[in-house]
């Protein structure tokens, strides 16, 4: 199913370069970005923060039966990455096989094509991760 | 001073050897490898295209330049494999590096020389004081028709150059530039065509050699220099042989081309080719050394640059990956996987 153009457009900064948010009251970092701090509620003050894109593998698995649109890429490694900012994100791990990956492996954000609506449709780009060797 | 404040390259991880392509088409692999001077060529990942390669190169150039993304006043992306026929690659790259929205941006196309065209436009904008920094990118994931001679050479890669004017920031000064262009029908691709068409042997003498030699000679005249004044020479490299032949025709020592000749190990990266070659030279060049670069784009034209490395290069080196870093971790594909990577089957 195609995502609405408005949603795609709104999420471009977070998807392209991991633009997250931080609460300056409690120093909590959030990704995906939040409008309200879940800890401080009304006392919180949220601002945008550019995450560095560096992190380490928290957990990972190999996807053999991918969702539609990802058939050509299977099998691929899918991981939960703990960013240096303390936030966990899930994303594909590119250019590697399961045996190359360990819990704690250092990774960095890379920019890849995520999906393609149809032959004449929009191309969706965003972050994935790659092992730092 | 107008010069380079940072540069970055990117080459995908995958490779295919000419012997493997030749095996499928019943050609003699070794003869082709030697004839074209190609050991292997780069192949993009399934989720990579000219825009993603451009972003990786751009991020590397930003890491070296050490400037805030909002300071970039212009971003020009040269490619002949822009992901969209209509919708700019430049805005995708700008957003991905956090540049803009107060930015001049556009996509350029001139076969293999759109990257150097972008560098010239950035020089003009910086020189005129319209912007402080401009980023020019050459990026391509070009395709050859299955079985065509181009299939052995068409690689994937990108290079990004940030042009600025502060003497304390420039790793190299661009001393001069000039161009030479004529309407020459050596290579083209129509709007909806999947693969390019070309003039076979016609791509040599009247196209590549004529323009590369004329533009280089124009630069010599303009700067009152000869090949002897340059430590390194980088020519556009559609294969491993043409640049060396061009040097021979001009009486230039082939040794000066060696460091900047990277097509034998990554293939012809089209808009990225001459400027990835330049990056490989800059990766190890010393202050005071002079580099001559001449690009070539079919259709046809060449841009030439006289560049002198400054001592700023020492303090900026190591902040971003070198070309050599992208040549270490590689994975070879057989022709079947290559077809899948390049989505060459209609049913894919
Ligand atoms: Zn808070």
Both structure tokens of A65:
């039966």
Residues of chain B with pLDDT > 90, as a percent, come to 91
Look up B236 and say whether it is catalytic.
Answer: yes
Does B46 sit within 8 Å of A73, measured CB to CB?
A: yes
Question: Alpha helices, DSSP H only, in chain B?
Answer: 18-25, 29-36, 50-65, 89-97, 114-127, 210-223, 242-249, 263-266, 273-282, 312-316, 325-328, 335-341
Q: Mean of the pLDDT values across residues A84-112?
A: 97
Residues B68, A84: Cα–Cα separation, whole Å: 21
- The pair of structure tokens assigned to B26 is 């019943």
Closest CB to B95 among A13, A94, A133: A13
Is the pLDDT at B348 greater than 60? The verdict is no
Residue A104 in any domain: the answer is yes
- pLDDT of A9-43, one tens digit each? 999 999 999 999 999 999 999 999 999 999 999 99
Residue A80 located in a structural domain: yes
What's residue B343's pLDDT? 84
Q: Look up tokens 């950035």; give the residue.
A: B122
B343 close contact with A: CB closer than 8 A: yes
pTM for this one?
Answer: 0.97
Contact B215, B221 (CB under 8 A): no
Ranges of each domain in chain B: 3-170+315-341, 174-311
Q: CB B45 to CB A112 under 8 A?
A: yes
Q: Check CB contact under 8 Å for B329 and A113.
A: no
Answer whether A110 touches B (CB < 8 Å): yes
Q: Tell me the two tokens of residue B146.
A: 């299955």
B95 and A12: CB-CB below 8 Å?
yes
Tell me whether residues B95 and A17 touch, CB distance under 8 A.
Answer: yes
DSSP state of B204: I
Looking at the domain assignment, is residue A16 inside a domain? no
Superfamily holding B3-170+315-341: Thiolase/Chalcone synthase (3.40.47.10)
Asked whether residue A33 is domain-assigned, the answer is no
Distance A103 CA to ligand 1 centre (A): 29
Superfamily of domain B174-311: Thiolase/Chalcone synthase (3.40.47.10)
| A89, part of any domain | yes
Asked if B3-170+315-341 and B174-311 have one fold, the answer is yes
Residues B61-82 have pLDDT tens digits of: 999 999 999 999 999 999 999 9
Whole-angstrom CA distances from A25 to A30, A52, A101, B110 are 13, 21, 37, 52
Structure tokens at A75: 């099998």
ipTM of the complex: 0.96
Distance from CA of A100 to the nearest CA of B (A): 12
Q: Copy the structure tokens of residue B206.
A: 């009247």
Query: How many domains are there within chain A?
Result: 1
Residues on chain B touching A5 (C-beta within 8 angstroms): none
In a domain, A20, yes or no: no
Q: What is the mean pLDDT of chain A?
A: 95
Sort out which chain A residues have CB atoms less than 8 A from B13's CB and list them: 95
pLDDT of residue A108: 98
CATH number assigned to the domain comprising residue A84: 2.40.50
Q: Provide the domain limits for residue A59.
A: 53-133
Tokens in use for B118? 């972008």
Nearest to A16 among B48, B95, B343 (CB): B95
Q: How confident is the model at residue A1 (pLDDT cuts 50, 70, 90)?
A: low
A32 belongs to a structural domain: no
Of A50, A92, A112, the CB nearest to B98: A50
Region for A69 from its dihedrals, namely left if φ exceeds 0, alpha if ψ lies in -120 to 50, beta otherwise: left
- Stretch B207-234: mean pLDDT: 98
Interatomic CA distance for residues B98 and A84, integer angstroms: 19
Given the residues B122, B236, B308, B341, select the one marked as catalytic.
B236
**Domain annotation covers residue A19:** no
In the numeric block, the tokens 């930015």 are attached to: B103
The question of whether B112 is a catalytic residue gets the answer yes
pLDDT tens figures, B128-141: 999 999 999 999 99
If you measure from the C-alpha of residue A83 to the centroid of ligand 1, how many angstroms do you get, rounded to a whole number? 19
Residues in chain A with CB shorter than 8 Å from the CB of B98 are 17, 19, 50
pLDDT category at B200 given cuts 50, 70, 90 is confident
Of B45, B52, B331, the CB nearest to A125: B52
């Amino acid at each position: 199913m195609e995502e609405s153009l408005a949603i795609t457009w709104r999420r471009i900064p977070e998807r392209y370069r991991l633009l997250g948010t931080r609460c300056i009251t409690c120093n909590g970092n959030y990704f995906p970005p939040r409008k309200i701090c879940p800890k401080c509620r009304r006392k919180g003050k949220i601002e945008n923060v550019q995450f560095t894109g560096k992190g380490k593998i928290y957990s990972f698995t190999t996807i053999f039966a991918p969702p539609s649109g990802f058939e050509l890429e299977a099998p691929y490694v899918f991981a939960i990455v703990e960013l240096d900012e303390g936030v966990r994100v899930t994303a594909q791990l590119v250019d590697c096989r399961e045996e190359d990956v360990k819990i704690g492996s250092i990774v960095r954000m890379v920019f890849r094509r995520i999906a393609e609506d149809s032959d004449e449709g929009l191309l969706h780009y965003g972050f994935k991760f790659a092992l730092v060797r | 001073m107008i010069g380079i404040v940072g540069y970055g390259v990117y080459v995908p991880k995958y490779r295919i050897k000419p012997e493997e392509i030749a095996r499928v088409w019943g050609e003699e692999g070794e003869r082709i490898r030697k004839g074209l001077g190609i050991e292997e060529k780069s192949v993009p990942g399934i989720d990579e295209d000219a825009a993603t390669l451009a972003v990786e190169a751009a991020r590397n150039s930003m890491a070296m330049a050490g400037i805030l993304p909002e300071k970039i006043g212009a971003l020009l992306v040269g490619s002949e494999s822009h992901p969209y026929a209509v919708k700019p690659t430049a805005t995708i790259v700008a957003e991905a590096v956090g540049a803009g929205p107060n930015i001049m941006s556009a996509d350029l196309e001139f076969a293999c020389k759109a990257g150097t065209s972008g560098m010239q436009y950035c020089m003009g904008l910086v020189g005129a004081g319209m912007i402080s920094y401009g980023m020019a990118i050459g990026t391509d994931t070009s395709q050859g028709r299955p079985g065509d001679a181009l299939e052995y050479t068409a690689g994937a890669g990108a290079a990004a150059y940030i042009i600025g004017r502060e003497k304390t920031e420039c790793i190299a000064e661009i001393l001069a530039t000039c161009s030479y262009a004529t309407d020459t029908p050596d290579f083209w691709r129509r709007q909806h065509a999947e693969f390019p068409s070309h003039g076979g042997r016609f791509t040599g003498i009247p196209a590549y050699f004529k323009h590369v030699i004329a533009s280089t000679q124009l630069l010599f005249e303009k700067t009152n220099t000869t090949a002897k004044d340059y430590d390194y020479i980088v020519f556009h490299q559609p294969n491993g042989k043409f640049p060396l032949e061009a040097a021979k025709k001009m009486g230039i020592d082939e040794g000066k081309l060696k460091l900047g000749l990277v097509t034998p190990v990554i293939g012809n990266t089209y808009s990225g080719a001459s400027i990835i070659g330049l990056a490989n030279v800059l990766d190890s060049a010393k202050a005071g050394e002079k580099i001559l670069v001449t690009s070539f784009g079919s259709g046809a034209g060449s841009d030439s640059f006289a560049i002198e490395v400054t001592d700023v290069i020492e303090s900026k080196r190591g902040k971003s990956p070198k070309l050599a870093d992208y040549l270490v971790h590689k994975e070879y594909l057989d022709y079947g996987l290559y077809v899948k990577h390049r989505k060459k089957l209609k049913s894919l």
